[in-house]
Amino acid sequence: MAVTSQQIAELAGVSRGTVDRALHNRGRVSPEVAERIRRIAEELGYRPNAIGQALVRAKQNFRLGAILQSAETPTMQDVAAGARQAAAELRGSGMEVELREVQGRDSLQVLRQIDELVAWGAGGLAIASNNTADLVRRIDQLHEQGVPVVTFNTDAPDSRRLCFVGMDNYRAGQTAAGLIRQMLPGGGLVLPIAGHVNNGAHYSRLQGFLDTLNGVDDLRLLPFQPCFDRDDYAHEITQHILRENPSLACVYITSNGQRGVCRAIEDERRKGRVRVVAYDLNAPNRKLLQSGDLSFVLDQEAREQGARPLHILYEYLLSGKVPERELLYTDILIRTKYNSGDAG
């Protein structure tokens, strides 16, 4: 005869709701009580009734929310396309998904979107986050309220989010450093450009790059410049550096803005002599690779980053399935003009 959660509750001396929260990591349960409940469940051979759970949830609002930052950039539009695809797939299972797009990096706007989605009835949230104190605090509050959060593309590692889906950006920065060393065997002057100073992904890519090249005598690094994901800023920065440093050999850009970099190099008649390393195989970068403006890009599987968090939340809410790891890294793919697909 199957063991029920009510039987576990009676043996543990708690409510059935406490049993559900302990077994599925939803809401606040003291560690001692949670351990007692899990031990009793294991001893009795308890297995959740997935069909029964689905029937219970079918009577409730089954809603998920997704929040993207820097939604105006080509890469985040690819991420959004993955999220929309996952939403369409989940609608067949009775799931409602609301996608919210935030322009730029705006923690206050993200907090407003979180509040609106929770008021709408979202039972779980996928968030392209920042590791700022206010967002970390809000994610922790959601955890306490039993609303799981999966971060994607950019993480909030100090928070109690369920997991993170995205690139290992530090290792990507290391990978870029290694490739540039091979690309410039005789050494040279390198300009690093980052995006937003509060974007953890951009910072990690920069830090991995700088740490790897620290102490390498034949490569000289200029101080990094922020371009805030803007092509006009990246153009101005690159043009100024080229005029001040005619020997510039390479630009490493961790964010959007690569079109401005390439345009400045062409304006200064340095195309073919200054290498450019960027991120993400989006439509504009495919063209820049094919034209020879970009030497290579490091791709992070943007569509998967948009789709996978929603499926993780669905399975977690439906059956209590916990992600196999806290950090679910997408592959670091090296793309050149020869493996970037059709430029059209």
Same domain, 174 and 293: yes
Q: What is the pLDDT of residue 94?
A: 78
| Phi/psi at 296 (5° precision) | -165, 165
For residue 107, is it within any domain?
yes
Residue 234 lies in a domain: yes
Residue 157's CB is within 10 A of a number of other CB atoms, namely 13
Tokens at 104, concatenated: 């730029």
**Two structure tokens written together for 188:** 């040279």
Query: Residue 55 has what pLDDT?
Result: 45
State the Cα–Cα distance between residues 121 and 165, nearest whole angstrom: 23
Q: What secondary structure, in 3-state letters, does the chain show?
A: CCCCHHHHHHHHCCCHHHHHHHHHCCCCCCHHHHHHHHHHHHHHCCCCCHHHHHHHHHCCCCEEEEEECCCCCHHHHHHHHHHHHHHHHHHCCCCEEEEEECCCCCHHHHHHHHHHHHHHCCCEEEECCCCCHHHHHHHHHHHHCCCCEEEECECCCCCCCCEEEEECHHHHHHHHHHHHHHHCCCCEEEEEEECCCCCHHHHHHHHHHHHHHCCCCCEEECCCEECCCCHHHHHHHHHHHHHHCCCEEEEEECCCCHHHHHHHHHHCCCCCCCEEEEECCCHHHHHHHHCCCCCEEEECCHHHHHHHHHHHHHHHHHHCCCCCCCEEEECCEEECCCCCCCCC
Cα–Cα dist 146/125, whole Å: 11
Print the domain residue range for 110: 62-166+302-331
> Would you say residue 338 lies in a domain?
no
Q: Are residues 191 and 99 in the same domain?
A: no
Count CA within 13 A, CB hemisphere, residue 57.
20
Q: Do the domain assignments include residue 54?
A: no
Would residue 284 count as lying in a domain? yes
Task: Verify that 284 and 175 share a domain, yes or no.
Answer: yes
Provide the number of structural domains found in the chain: 3
Q: Which residues of the chain have pLDDT under 70?
A: 1-2, 17, 24-28, 47-61, 342-344
Same domain as 161, residue 181: no
Report the CATH number at residue 280.
3.40.50.2300
Q: Which residues 6+ apart lie within 8 Å of 88 measured at CB?
A: none
264 and 223, same structural domain?
A: yes
- From its phi and psi, is residue 104 left (phi > 0), alpha (psi between -120 and 50) or beta? left
| pLDDT given at position 149 | 98
**Whether residue 161 is found in the same domain as residue 175:** no
Residues 237 and 294 occupy one common structural domain: yes
Mark whether 229 and 321 lie in a shared domain.
no
115 and 235 belong to one structural domain: no
Alpha carbons 293 and 276: distance in angstroms, whole number: 7
Predicted pLDDT of residue 59 = 45
Distance CA 338, CA 5 (A): 57
The pLDDT of residue 39 is 87
Considering the domain architecture, whether residues 187 and 42 belong to the same structural domain is answered as: no
Cβ neighbours of 229 (radius 10 Å):
22
C-alpha to C-alpha distances, 206 to 105, 137, 221, 283, 331, nearest whole angstrom: 18, 26, 12, 23, 18
Inside any domain, residue 175: yes
Q: Measured between alpha carbons, how far is 11 from 34 in angstroms, rounded to an integer?
A: 13
Same domain, 214 and 229: yes
Contact 323, 163 (CB under 8 A): yes
CA–centroid distance for 98 within its chain: 18
pLDDT tens by residue, 169-189: 999 999 999 999 999 999 999
Instruction: Note whether 149 and 71 are same-domain residues.
Output: yes
For residues 195 and 228, is the Cβ–Cβ distance under 8 A? Answer: yes
User: Does 138 reside within a domain?
Assistant: yes
pTM exceeds cut of 0.85: no
Asked whether residue 160 is domain-assigned, the answer is: yes
